[in-house]
Amino acid sequence: GSLVHATSLRHIQACPRALIGVSDDGVIDWVLDDVDSASIQDAMISKGWQIEDVDFIELGFGQWIMPGFVDTHTHAPQYPNMGIGGQYELLDWLKNVTFPTEAKFEDVEYAKKAYTSVVQRVLDCGTTTCCYYATLHLQATRVLADICHAKGQRAFIGKCNMDRHASETYQESSPAQSLADTETIISYIGSLEDPLVQPILTPRFAIACCDDLLAGLGTIASQHPDMAIQTHISENPSEIAFTGELFPDCDTYAHVYDKFGLLREKTILAHGVHLKDDELDLIKSRNAGISHCPTSNFHLSSGIANVADMLDRGIKVGLGTDVSGGYSPSILTAIQHASIASKVLAFQASSPPDSSPSSFSQKQLPLSALLYLATLGGADLCGLSSVIGTITPGKQFDAILVDVTKGGVEGIWVEQEVGEELGVQNKARLLEMLEKFLFCGDSRNVRTVWVKGRVVGGAQKP
């Protein structure tokens, strides 16, 4: 059947008649990109495979395989209040809506129930890799790791660190306790015999962490040079101003994280809406990257991150749903809002865009960039670009089977034209269907979801 993936910010490869060989361990063995129905068996034999040894899936009209989505920023314990609180900006929203919701995860039974449905929901949206913030609770964070592990999601899971400026009932008692719990969760997740789930250091944001806590996390980071780190940065003007008061010796917000050794490769900085030039230079020089969360940035009236400028500077960018600052668990919504955000910046720009075709600045993001950010770009941000993000031999099969003949887009437009039997939809039609899916599709169109070759979700599992 058909295969579609973004191999770079500028290029989508669309193969109407692909044949993909995935071995039992979930690794993509080979990909042939133009095979007609009559020669499938010969093609397999040419790869040393026997047709009677394989489970064979043949896609029909309106269906294709593409890489699973990477959500580089979400909060699993905030799903219960998704869609609520849009009247607030960040700091009031945290105090009035979010911290009370997260505090409930002290109850481990509640955490089991909530996280079981959260993880399945995220998988069914086609998100095969997810960077989760849990709460500050050690037990509930273990539960989230166990559930991702059992359901087979590729995930980064972080116990939140926050020892100040949260609330009396929802805040860690000391930096020492926060750091000890962090070490415990790191070794717990490391002991799961499954490299799909990894720990990630998660200082919530600079406001909520005292200097000793940030310094201790910097020490843990230096002991684990490969470990990913996630935090928030420069989301909202009041947050930035308060951060400046708390860290008067740091020139900018980004310098706070840098001072404590927390800005490095695989540091995922959520938002970056109001970053200044020298912060962007610092982030680039440290090889850290940005999780762009446009749904959240609109919903909490935070502003619009200038992703085009980040891309022009060569900064790594992925997409995040940021539930429940964002009100949708689906990366499709983040794609739609990333597109709208880029258009708003383009039509508000005071000067004409750079005429160079290699610049994204002040232009709408093309479909290739949107798909890239949602897949390979997100993978790159988490240090996984050699493992997932495209359907390429040697990578693991983290993929979704999309079906645009089902769900909300069905019937309105999908009419099979003469000659469009299996695999003969041409490249232009395939790209048109992809665009329709990205803008009008939803989880009903995500028929099957695989992580490392294992079926883990989808509207219709085979």
322 is an interface residue for Fe ion by CB under 5 A? yes
Residue 287 zone, left/alpha/beta (φ > 0; ψ -120 to 50; rest) = left
The torsion angles phi and psi of 46, rounded to 5 degrees, stand at: -65, -20
Residue 253 CB, nearest approach to ligand GUN (Å): 12
Interface residue with ligand GUN among 235, 258, 380, 398 (CB under 6 A) is: 235
159 is an interface residue for ligand GUN by CB under 6 A? no
The torsion angles phi and psi of 308, rounded to 5 degrees, stand at: -60, -45
205 is an interface residue for ligand GUN by CB under 6 A? yes
Written in H, E and C, the secondary structure of 34-56 is ECCHHHHHHHHHHCCCCHHHCCC
Structure tokens that stand for 220 in this block: 């843990």
Helix, strand, coil fractions of the chain, as percent rounded to 5:
40, 20, 40
Q: Are 78 and 134 in contact (CB under 8 A)?
A: no
81 is an interface residue for ligand GUN by CB under 6 A? no
Residue 427 CB, nearest approach to ligand GUN (Å): 39
258 is an interface residue for Fe ion by CB under 5 A? no
Residue the block writes with tokens 């930035």: 240
Q: Are 219 and 172 in contact (CB under 8 A)?
A: no
Closest CB to ligand GUN belongs to which residue?
325
Residue the block writes with tokens 């059947």: 1
Three-class DSSP category at 164: coil
Q: Residue 271: enclosing H or E segment and its boundaries?
A: strand 267-271
* Selected range binding Fe ion among 190-198, 283-291, 314-322, 435-443, rule: CB under 5 A: 314-322
Residue 407 CB, nearest approach to ligand GUN (Å): 29
Q: Could you tell me how many residues of this chain bind ligand GUN (CB under 6 A)?
A: 11
Residue 10 CB, nearest approach to ligand GUN (Å): 30
Residue 164 CB, nearest approach to ligand GUN (Å): 13
String of b and e for 394-412 (b: at least 16 CB within 10 Å)? ebbbbbbbbbbbbbebeee
Nearer Cβ to Fe ion (216/320): 320
Among ligand GUN, Fe ion, none, the one that 235 touches (CB under a kind-dependent 5 to 8 A) is ligand GUN
232 is an interface residue for ligand GUN by CB under 6 A? yes
Q: Are 427 and 34 in contact (CB under 8 A)?
A: no
403 is an interface residue for Fe ion by CB under 5 A? no
Closest CB to Fe ion belongs to which residue?
322
61 is an interface residue for ligand GUN by CB under 6 A? no
Nearer Cβ to Fe ion (74/364): 74
Nearer Cβ to ligand GUN (322/380): 322
Residue 127 β-bridge partners: 69
* Selected range binding Fe ion among 196-204, 252-260, 284-292, 318-326, rule: CB under 5 A: 318-326
* Selected range binding ligand GUN among 90-98, 117-125, 261-269, 396-404, rule: CB under 6 A: 90-98
From CA 297, how far away is CA 291, in angstroms rounded?
12
Q: Which residues bind ligand GUN (CB under 6 A)?
A: 75, 90, 94, 98, 204-205, 232, 235, 296, 322, 325
